Structure 1
Amino acid sequence: MSLSALAGPQLHVLLTLSELLTTVIVPPDARTCGVRHERGTCTRLVEPVELISNPTRSNCTAQAGEFPWLVSVRGAPPSRADSPQPLCTGLLVHQQAVLVSAACHEAATNADQRMHVRLGEYNILSDVDAGRPPLDINIRRAVYHPEYSAGLNDVGLLVLEHPARLGEDVNVVCLPQWRRDTESPADLTADWEHTECVLHGWVDTTIDSTPVPLRETVRFLGRDACQTRMRELDRLGPLHTLHAGFACASAETGCWADGGSPLVCRLREDRSRWVLAGLRAWVRQFNDCDRVATYTNVAVFSDWIRDTIDAELSVAA
C-alpha cells in the first residue's frame, strides 16, 4: 500500500488544530483507520480512597481489542530466544510499519535483544487472548529519525517482513498532518485543550505489573502552559525553550504509562475514529509527575513517517 497518493489535492489546507483533527493521512484502500472498539464500561484498578492519595492511578482497564493499533514489541537475548518478553509499545501506522520510541528500541538493541512485533496483543503475560493465537511478525529493518538524539525527535519506524492482515482486532491508527507553511508548532496543540483525548497502553513495569492495557482521558496543556511547567523543573531551568517535537498534558495524568504509549484524539467530524496526537516520552528526564507529562508531538513528524514508509517499501518492491 503506497502513501504517495496522499500528496494530491485531497489533502485540505489546515488553518487550525480543529481542522488538523479532521484532516488525516488515510490510505485510499483503508478508509477505516483509527476505529476504536469501545466495549463495556470502565473497570478501575484501584478503589476511590486510593485515588485520593494517588491520583496518578485514576485510570481504567482497556477492553480486549479496544485499541487495535496497539503493538507489543517483544524480544529476548540469544540465550533465551524461546522466551521473548515485552520491551516497547508500538503503533501500527501502516500494514507493514510500526511507530515506536526510538530510545526504547535503541535501548533494547544495545542490550542484544532479538526483536519481533506482536499484533492484536492484550495480556502481555499470555500467548493467547480470548482464544486467539498470537500474531507475530519479524522486523525487517528499524529506521530512526535522522535528528534523533538524547530523547529529542524520539520516533522510529519498524518495517515488517510482510504486511499485517487487518481486521477488527488489528488495524492502523490515523496520522495527523501538519502544514508547515501555514502553521506554527503552537497551532498544533492550541485546540487539544478542548478535544477528547485518551492515553492508552501497558503499564510502566517500574511502577506496576498490570498485564493488560490501561486507558485514561488526558487534558492537554497549551504550548505556553507547557513551557511554563517545563521551566519549573530544576533539571531544565527558567530559560528552557520547549522543543517543537514536544507536547504536554496535565501532570496528574499518565504517569503510569510506559514510554511510547500513544495518545489519540477523537476526530470532530467522525467521532468513531481517532487520530494519533502523541507518544508518551520514553526518556524520563523530561517528565515529573508533580508538574508535567510530556509527549512526542506526532504531527511534527508525520511527513517523515509517510516519506520513510514510502521509501522503505519501494526499495523492497
Structure 2
Amino acid sequence: MSYDNCYIGGFVGPKGSGKSLTLACAIVWALQSGRTVWSNMKVRTGPALLNRKTFIDGSKMVYRETEPLNWDLLYMLDESMVEGMVAIDEMSYFASSRQSMDTRNRLINTCCRQARHRSLDFLYTVRAFGWVDSYLRAETDFLVTCDDLSYSGWGRDNHVSGGTVIRQRYYDLSGLMTGHPVDFLNPGAKPYKTCLFYGTPYWDCYNTHEIISIEEAFTGVKLDMKKRLISNKQEDDGTEEKVMQCLTELALNNNEIPAGMLWAYLKTKGIQGEPNTLGRLIPRQVKRRYSRAEGQLYDLSAL
C-alpha cells in the first residue's frame, strides 16, 4: 500500500474465521515497510517471523510493534497521525449500523473520508459487513471474506488445525483495485481474487484471547469545536498532572523506561486506568521507540 493510494479495507467472517489473523498479517507487513500502525489490538513481529522470514535480498525482519490507538487523536485527525495505518478489530463495536446518527459514527466516517489527506490506510474487521455503518460501507475500497478451512470437509478429512489455512476472497467495492466496482451485498457479486493464506507464522504476532477494550464503545462523545469532551466521564481530577509528576520523577534517574514498568509505577502511585487511556495523558515530548529485547520504551530525556 502506497502513500499515494490510501485504502480503506475490511476483513469479514464469522468467529474463528481468521479475520483477525489476516489483519495481524497486514499490520506486520505495514510495520516492516516502516509505517507506524495505530491499533486497538496489540501486534508485534513474532519470534517465528524473526527467525524464519527473510526478504528477497536475504535480510531478516526486524522487531516492530503497534502503537496503542488514541481515539482522541484519531477523531481530530491529529497531525501526529500521518503516513501510517489505523487498524481496528471488531469495528461494529465503534461504528455500528444500529447507531448511524451517533456522534462517534459520524466522527469515524469523517476520519475515513479524509484519511487520504493524512496518508493513512484504514483496515478493520467485522463479523458481518452489514453490521458497520452504511457510510463506512460506502467508503470501503476492498473487502476480504475469510473462511477457516479447518471447518470444511477437506479440512476435517486432512485433520487441518484451526488458523492454519484461511481461504480469502477479495472484492473491489470502490473500483480502486481493478476499475470494476462490485456490490458485495448483491448475491451475484464475484471476487477479483481468491487465495489461501497460511497463518501459522503469524500466530505469535498477537494474542487471539486478548479482550478488545470496549471502554470507547460505551463512552459518550461531545465536541465543542476546540476539544473533544467525553460526556459520561467525571471532570478532570488532576490525573494528567499526576502522570506528568510521575514521569518527571522517573526522568531523574532514567533516560527511558519500558512501557510495562511505567504502567506498574503509575499504579503504585494510585493512578488507575488502561494503558490506552493513560497513554493519552503522556506529553508529546516523551517519544516512543522499540527494542527487540524490551519492547516499547518511553524516552524521558526531554523532560
TM category, shorter = under 0.3
Compare the two structures and name the one with the higher strand fraction.
Answer: 1
Compare the two structures and name the one with the higher helix fraction.
Answer: 2
Query: Looking at CA atoms only, which structure, 1 or 2, has the larger radius of gyration?
Result: 2
Q: TM-score, normalised by structure 2?
A: 0.23
